[in-house]
Amino acid sequence: MKKISIYFLAIFTTMILGVSCSDDDDNDIIQEPTLSTIVETAQATDFLSNLVAALAKADENDNSDLIGALSGDGPFTVFAPTDTAFAALLASLDDFDSLADFDTPEKREILAAILKYHVVVGAAATSSSLSNGQEFTTLQGEKITVRIEGDVYIQDPTDTDAKVGPADVMASNGIVHVIDKVLIPQEVLDALNPEPMPNIVEWAMDTDFLSLLVGALVQADAGLVDLLQTDGPFTVFAPTDTAFAALLDALGDDYNSLADFDTPEEKTLLAQILKFHVVAGSAAYSTDLSNGQMIETAQGESVTVNLTGGVFIQDKTDVDAAVAPADIAASNGVVHVIDKVLLPQEALDVLMPPSPNIVELAMDTDFLSLLVGALVQADAGLVDLLQTDGPFTVFAPTDTAFAALLDALGDDYNSLSDFDTPEEKALLAQILKYHVVAGTAAYSTDLSNEQMIETAQGESVTVNLTGGVFIQDKTDVDAAVAPADIAASNGVVHVIDKVLLPQEAIDALMPTPNIVELAMDTDFLSLLVGALVQADAGLVDLLQTDGPFTVFAPTDTAFAALLDTLGDDYNSLADFDTPEEKALLAQILKYHVVAGTAAYSTDLSNGQMIETAQGESVTVNLTGGVFIQDKTDVDAAVAPADIAASNGVVHVIDKVLLPQEALTALGH
């Protein structure tokens, strides 16, 4: 059994004996056990024998009295390494097979420094009072850090943390936490590893995956190799060979290797790129960095720190460099390895000239040739405008989209050159401005569903993100965006498969037909048109006035059914040939017309009675659809409904409506 357990058993026994020896006639008084000091506790614990021996060994120096100090009042917090921990330390050290090998005053000073590094003076910190990241200054002078991750660990400058267990061993002058590793302060690490740390250049030369960085430093021939071997301190972001290879690949055929930076100008540029990776005057470890921090480099421009999801360094491009590994110490600073060559604006301007502006981009794109032609044909300064700084968002119709528009416009517009009058050029300019959003470069990720965006023409387009990215104009057909997000120096271009039309253009180029024109353009309403003409009652002229009108328009099939019902006297509409029959036909037709309103199906209500131009009313029936009831027993079904005309609305019906006047005249 471990001696520390025997010690606690002895305390417990003392408590029992204290109670047993009390006088039965006296009050029962339990005498509190007297706790041992930290040193006595260690001496009474088998697995802390090497700690006790180490304290004694260190005290062989005339100026050392660790045992006496740890026997004082305290309070102290002591992290006590086990014998196994001391054995592991000795096994890792050259020329130290046992504690006896600390046999000179200098070596015992090192041992004393190690032991003092385990002592915190002025506090008895229980494990429950410790917090993650908490730091303690030790008796040796350096700090230790608490790490809580399920268990409690103590961090020193090495890569291995000490695990606490058991914790909270109480002593009369403090508290002891047993740990499974001897903590080593930096002072001792430096003393036990006298070989000097390499400087930044030496470290890079000894690292296989940084060979191209070393080659670049040499190729630049700008004294950077010598500079990075001076005292510094420096912080260096070191791109890997893979990062340099990616840069060379991006630069194209002119730069197949670093040796292609061979002119004085190219060497100077390479030196500036490398200086953009160097921060002079500071060794900034990753723990010293803060999110959004801007750090001025030796090149003169700044890099920005991004700590979202890791450690990243932002240059003047859109791609951040990931840091891994970080915090590689050198004698003259610190190195952070990165997966990308950082580029200052100076280098981008030379090696990767700015993106073309919107006009240049369109001119370089085969399938946007008609867009370029339209900009020129409009002759409204749009070419010059779209080469200014912007920013602009442009929805760019393809050549196919322009061809479809010209086809829809008919014979008057066989090419863009047919927009040749001042009025037509002005209209073309308005159409083009309807594709331009000024003041913003809105990428597809910036758009939201049903967002309305005001264009340079004045009217708005609407975003539809259902199943893709679509732009809605004033027509019934949306424009699909593909591809999106083509960056230009002065904005962004989204290619679309349709020319967007504002209401202004629709009114000018595609006027809505009036009710008579609509009927004349509809094959299955030919008999309705014939009836209007046959009645010879001014209805054709009336239904081309401003209105508004609501017209229930019977199909040819409906008129054929009516004629069939009327028998042999009416084989065609031409049989309404007497003045009386023409007047009757006119009354039947007026019974299909509601004057003074354009009533869409959504405006109708069940049972609603609507007075017609004939004088009698029809009744709305919305049971199972939209139906119109006349003076017969059969309702007319509406399908399709809501066909807009310039002077009203048309509802197609499958039956000719008959007023009572007609039924009486026709003998029904």
Q: What is the mean pLDDT of residues 183-194?
A: 85
Decide: helix, strand or coil at residue 624. Answer: coil
Domain boundary among the residues 293, 321, 351 is at: 351
pTM of the model: 0.43
pLDDT digits (tens, 9 = 90+) for 72-96: 998 999 999 999 999 999 998 888 8
**pLDDT score at 666:** 85
The answer to whether residue 167 sits within a structural domain is: yes
Are 519 and 553 spatial neighbours (Cβ–Cβ below 8 Å)? yes
Strands 648-653 and 549-554: parallel
Residue 31 lies in a domain: no
Structural domain total, the chain: 4
Tell me phi and psi for residue 461, to 5 degrees. -105, 160
Distance separating alpha carbons of residues 542 and 595, to the nearest angstrom: 10
User: What's the CA dihedral at 374, 375, 377, 382 to 10 degrees?
Assistant: 150
Query: Averaged over 626-649, what is the pLDDT?
Result: 94
Within this chain, do residues 136 and 105 fall inside the same structural domain, yes or no? yes
Q: How far apart are CA 187 and CA 110, in angstroms?
A: 9
Q: For 609, what's the count of Cα atoms within 13 Å in the CB-facing half-sphere?
A: 5
Tell me the residue type at 401: A
Residue 222: pLDDT band with limits 50, 70, 90: confident
State yes or no: pLDDT of 8 exceeds 60.
no
* Residues 77, 52 within the same domain: yes
Domain boundary among 132, 166, 192: 192
Peptide bond into 233 cis (omega under 30): yes
Segment among 104-118, 244-258, 386-400 with least mean pLDDT? 244-258
Q: Do 514 and 543 meet the contact criterion of CB atoms below 8 Å apart?
A: yes
Q: Are residues 378 and 523 in the same domain?
A: no
Q: Which domain holds residue 591?
A: 515-665
Residue reference for tokens 């010059």? 384
Token pair listed for 288: 């010293």
CA neighbor of 628 nearest in space, from 553, 557, 577, 568: 553
Q: What is the mean pLDDT of the chain?
A: 91
Do 326 and 185 share a domain, yes or no? no
Provide the pLDDT for residue 242. Answer: 96
pLDDT tens for each residue of 484-501 = 999 998 999 999 999 999
For residues 396 and 345, state if they share a domain.
no
Does 155 share its domain with 67? yes
In 10 A of CB 347, how many CB atoms? 22
* CB atoms closer than 10 angstroms to residue 629: 17
> Each residue of 442-462: pLDDT tens digit?
999 999 999 999 999 999 999
Give the pLDDT confidence score for residue 6 in this predicted structure: 33
33 has pLDDT over 70 = no
Q: Is 548 found in the same domain as 480?
A: no
- Name the one residue in this structure whose structure tokens are 């997000």: 485
Q: Check whether residue 594 and residue 460 sit in a common domain.
A: no
- The CATH number of residue 276's host domain is 2.30.180.10
pLDDT at 15 over 50: no
Does residue 323 form part of some domain? yes
Tell me the average pLDDT across 616-634: 95
Residue 460 CB coordination number (10 Å): 16
pLDDT given at position 19: 35
Q: Among 139, 170, 192, which residue terminates a domain?
A: 192
**pLDDT at position 608 over 70:** yes
Per-residue pLDDT of 289-337, as tens digits, reads 999 999 999 999 999 999 999 999 999 988 999 999 999 999 999 999 9
221 shares its domain with 287: yes
Same domain (yes/no): 443, 527: no
Same domain (yes/no): 290, 160: no
Q: In this structure, is residue 564 part of a structural domain?
A: yes
